[in-house]
DNA sequence: GCATGTGAATAGATTCACAGCG
DNA sequence: CGCTGTGAATCTATTCACATGC
């Protein structure tokens, strides 16, 4: 029954947040125990996958019974590093940047927007929520006071790489890129991407090739 | 040299839009020929992967030379179904929905926003760009006039499933879901998802487990 | 000579099927 | 008896390495 601890497969990591969300819902409904089958249903995945994924955490279920919702919640949270708070900076406050800055559910668990940056003088000084937009040149100064863990890039593609470089220079180790551009970062930095037009093009493919297949995937791209 | 035509692997489909983007840049710079190695560099992938991916298209390169940029452009575009125009509807015009509706680059190639829908009376009638926001109850009527290929869900999680159901009823066969909820759709409908908080949680994991690994992944989830 | 195209090798993820335990 | 945990089987994807042909 001892779960193997170590080297959690990438595909598993990508699913843990999904499990976590369903577990929160179960907990909110005062459900205390859940089977792999039930959890799998809620997450739209296969039950064997759930069990194998959870076994990587060394998580204890109870044979013949299932998993304790509270225990799983805290184990997955810990594994994902959601106990600590992660400081986020958003660079680029166009439409998307604004939407991201206003996104509730950041704060939800463990994420806190501590910096908003733009290069356009007309946007500097604007308050978005409780945070004032500063010039991207101030990034190092802000990061010196409040170390930034995660940088979100929401600028036009042509300047995305230089923004990434600045974030890295400011000590950021995780980047989420919304710009439609391929970025390169040093190996110690994790990078994931969200690209709307790529998503649409993939959908276009499967629309055209009616009867398209399609298991499931998770967004982004990472390096570390 | 004949490329094998058929059953393009899912992982390949997800990379085609990436190649396409780099090819557009090359074409814009009047580059007429590109090697798998060069294209791979531009896209941040491995050269062998590029060659194998392109071989699935039955695409002709020239040994000792490389690929013709124009030919590749049109082959990939055709394969992705980007010759025809895809009509898009966005449901939910909160911060994110607005940002999406204003996103230029939709129009870029093959995508056209033809409908904006919300359930909140205070938003009905508002013009976003050239499109007026209508009540989500009008979806069937609008779809009857202009068939909608792709639906984008940008509503709160609790109502995401019913919006998906309505889209499916209105004949939509591809859905891009931004709500943090697991949706189920009939097998003929393609579904992909973009989930910001999942992305952040994955980054959190790799930040915590410093020296994290991470090849690359592409966003979403699909069914068809 | 040089870069494609691809068979074979490797790695990774999913699924099966069942032993093992509460 | 029911459900977890996991070895083994399968499937998918990546990478290697080289024969092929311009």
Residue B111 three-state SS: strand
User: A190-204, pLDDT tens digit by residue?
Assistant: 999 999 999 999 999
CB-CB under 8 Å, A110 with B204: yes
- Closest nucleotide relative to residue B14's CA, C1' based: D13
**Mean pLDDT value of segment B104-112:** 79
What integer pLDDT is reported at residue B104 of this predicted model?
A: 84
Kindly report the bases of strand C lying within 7 A of a protein C-beta atom: 1-7, 12-17, 20-22
**pLDDT greater than 90 at residue A2:** no
Cβ contacts of A206 on chain B, cutoff 8 Å:
13, 174, 190, 222, 224
From the list A180, A194, A216, the residue facing B221 with the nearest CB is: A216
CA distance A179 to A176: 9
**pLDDT greater than 70 at residue B77:** yes
pTM of the model: 0.94
Chain mean position to CA A213: 26
Find the Å distance, CA of residue B127 to C1' of nucleotide C2.
57
Is residue A99 within 8 Å of A74, Cβ to Cβ?
no
User: A37-95, pLDDT tens digit by residue?
Assistant: 999 999 999 999 999 999 999 878 999 999 999 999 999 999 999 999 999 999 999 99
CA distance B1 to A205: 24
The torsion region of residue A30 among left (phi > 0), alpha (psi -120 to 50) and beta comes to: left
User: A17-26, pLDDT tens digit by residue?
Assistant: 999 999 999 9
**pLDDT greater than 80 at residue B51:** yes
Q: Residue A178, CB, less than 7 Å from strand D?
A: no
Cβ contacts of B108 on chain A, cutoff 8 Å:
197
Q: Which residue has the tokens 């009857």?
A: B144
CB-CB under 8 Å, B196 with A218: no
- What is the average pLDDT score of chain A? 92
Minimum Cα–Cα distance from B183: chain A residue:
A44
B210 is written with which tokens? 């410093």
Of the CA atoms within 13 Å of residue B91, those in its CB half-sphere come to 34
């Amino acid at each position: 029954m001892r779960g193997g601890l170590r080297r959690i497969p990438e595909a598993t990591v990508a699913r843990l947040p999904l499990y976590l969300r369903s577990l929160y819902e179960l907990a909110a409904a005062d459900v205390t125990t859940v089977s792999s089958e039930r959890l799998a249903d809620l997450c739209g995945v296969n039950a064997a996958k759930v069990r194998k994924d959870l076994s990587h955490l060394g998580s204890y279920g109870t044979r013949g019974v299932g998993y304790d919702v509270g225990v799983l919640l805290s184990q997955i949270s810990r594994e994902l590093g959601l106990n600590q708070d992660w400081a986020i900076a958003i660079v680029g406050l166009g439409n998307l940047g604004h939407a991201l800055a206003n996104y509730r559910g950041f704060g939800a668990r463990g994420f806190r927007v501590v910096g908003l940056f733009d290069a356009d003088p007309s946007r500097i000084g604007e308050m978005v929520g409780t945070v004032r937009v500063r010039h991207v040149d101030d990034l190092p100064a802000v990061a010196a006071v409040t170390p930034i863990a995660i940088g979100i890039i929401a600028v036009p593609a042509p300047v995305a790489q230089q923004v990434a470089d600045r974030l890295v220079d400011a000590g950021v180790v995780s980047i989420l890129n919304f710009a439609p551009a391929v970025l390169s970062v040093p190996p110690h930095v994790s990078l994931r991407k969200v690209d709307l037009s790529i998503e649409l093009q993939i959908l276009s493919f499967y629309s055209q090739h009616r009867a398209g297949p399609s298991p499931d995937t998770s967004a982004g791209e990472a390096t570390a």
